[in-house]
Structure 1
Amino acid sequence: MLRAGLPFALPGMRVGLLGGSFDPAHPGHVHITEEALRRFGLDRVWWLVSPGNPLKPQGPAPLKERIATARNIMQNPAVHVTGVEVALGTRMTADTIAGLQRLYPRVRFVWLMGADNLVQFDRWDRWSEIAGRVPLGIVARPGWRMPARFSRTARILWRNRIPEGKAMQLADHAPPAWCMINVPMSKQSSTAIRALQRKVAKKD
């Protein structure tokens, strides 16, 4: 029986996991999520709204506030917004994925991230364990396609790259496996939105 606060998934489902602070969630998140659903052949995507990002110096807005904003902007019924790390009692991505795999042993998870995150992926806690647990679905973002392709992670895992033309099969591959898709991208970012909010607040 699943713990309260965890989403439902049937055995065999292909579920993409998109983690982040979502501070705040914006149309760019919606865009890459819906592209990932379509291009990687996923049944669901779960937004994992994190309590905080250890790679970011400043703390995010309260978790409940970020989840509420995310649920308001993401209207696709195939996407579930959740504070799953609180329900699991985890903080690091490797622990979160391990916890989900224990609870959903027959679900085929894919870790989703932007190409900018692939560039710094080797700085993540136990990044090689993450890559060994689930396939990685990389969504290209403006200005990050070439840096991602030549990143340290991409060089180490170059033998495990799945061609973009076979992106629909990514969830079927045993990890390590990764695929980067190029899509028309929104240039919106949470950082830019927060900066605009601060600017407006100062004027008020």
Structure 2
Amino acid sequence: MAGRQQALRLGFDLTPGMRVGLYGGSFNPAHEGHAHVAETARRRLQLDRVIWLVSPQNPLKTNHHETASLAERLAGARRFARGRSMIVSDAETRIGSQYTIDIVRDLKARFPGVHFVWIMGADSLASFHRWRGWTQIMAEVPVAVVSRPWISLKSRSSPAAQRFAGARVPIEQAKLVPTAKPPRWVFLTGPLNFQSSTLLRERMRRRGS
């Protein structure tokens, strides 16, 4: 009963043994590049679910006036999170935290037995060392990084990549990552999608001017 109440409170239900990707971001706005990252991780890691965690506000971004409302960003993410295995959630707002380390620990406590893995694009890995509790995140859950245009080489030499170089898993073993004991991470290469939220916002600004 308690587990069912947890599911109703967060808007999704997970059962022990599931392999679940957590894909966080502002999604301001969501685009095909986000869908590419989510689908690449789902397929290569053989995940049962990918939860798009739409954040109330990215604490590393100062341009708050350019951030659309949470409702708008949730609606946008739902347009790109295709298929039954993709879930769009405002769990961070419901739980009351905007930091990844808090949301990861909370979901692990709510859903014991679920194999969580954090998903990010290579652009996020490049700045991962600036996240609050980034080393603790690596100690809590395995991490999957999906290559993104222009940044992949820089991200693989980033402070986080260097700090945890010994925990990197060969891409051939990617499907083992969700059930691996952290710290473990994998860099997933493949075809690139060149859409970005920054470019889309700039395009919208030009149309409005």
Could you tell me how far 1:48 is from its partner in structure 2? 0.2
- Match in the other structure for 2:74: 67
Decide whether the 8 Å contact of 2:59 with 2:98 is kept in 1. Answer: no
Could you tell me how far 1:75 is from its partner in structure 2? 2.1
* 1:105-184 → structure 2 map (5 Å cutoff): 105-184=112-191
The answer to whether structure 1 residue 53 and structure 2 residue 23 are counterparts is no
Among 43, 67, 70, which residue is 1:38 paired with?
43
Decide whether the 8 Å contact of 2:74 with 2:90 is kept in 1. Answer: yes
Decide whether the 8 Å contact of 1:36 with 1:42 is kept in 2. Answer: yes
The superposition leaves residues 124-181 of structure 1 with CA deviations (integer Å, 9 ceiling, x where unpaired) of: 0010110000001000111222212211111111111100110011011100000001
The superposition leaves residues 28-83 of structure 1 with CA deviations (integer Å, 9 ceiling, x where unpaired) of: 11111111100111111000000011111112111011101111232221100001
Decide whether the 8 Å contact of 1:6 with 1:87 is kept in 2. Answer: no
Could you tell me how far 1:196 is from its partner in structure 2? 0.6
Which shifted more, 71-80 or 16-25? Answer: 71-80
Decide whether the 8 Å contact of 1:32 with 1:185 is kept in 2. Answer: no
1:22 alignment partner AA = F
CA distance in 1, matches of 2:172, 2:56: 35
Unaligned 5+ segments in structure 1 are none
- Secondary structure in structure 2 of the residue aligned to 1:48: strand
Unaligned 5+ segments in structure 2 are none
CA RMSD in angstroms, aligned pairs only: 1.0
CA distance in 1, matches of 2:198, 2:149: 15
Task: Provide the aligned length of Structure 1 versus Structure 2.
Answer: 202
- Secondary structure in structure 2 of the residue aligned to 1:4: helix
CA distance in 1, matches of 2:11, 2:108: 13
- Match in the other structure for 1:29: 34
Could you tell me how far 1:5 is from its partner in structure 2? 3.0
- Match in the other structure for 1:185: 192
In the superposition, the TM-score normalised over structure 2's length comes to 0.94
1:33 alignment partner AA = A
CA distance in 1, matches of 2:80, 2:145: 22
The answer to whether structure 1 residue 4 and structure 2 residue 41 are counterparts is no
- Secondary structure in structure 1 of the residue aligned to 2:10: coil
In the superposition, the TM-score normalised over structure 1's length comes to 0.96
The superposition leaves residues 79-113 of structure 1 with CA deviations (integer Å, 9 ceiling, x where unpaired) of: 00001111111111100111101101111100000
- Match in the other structure for 1:18: 23
1:185 alignment partner AA = L
CA distance in 1, matches of 2:156, 2:197: 24
The answer to whether structure 1 residue 197 and structure 2 residue 193 are counterparts is no
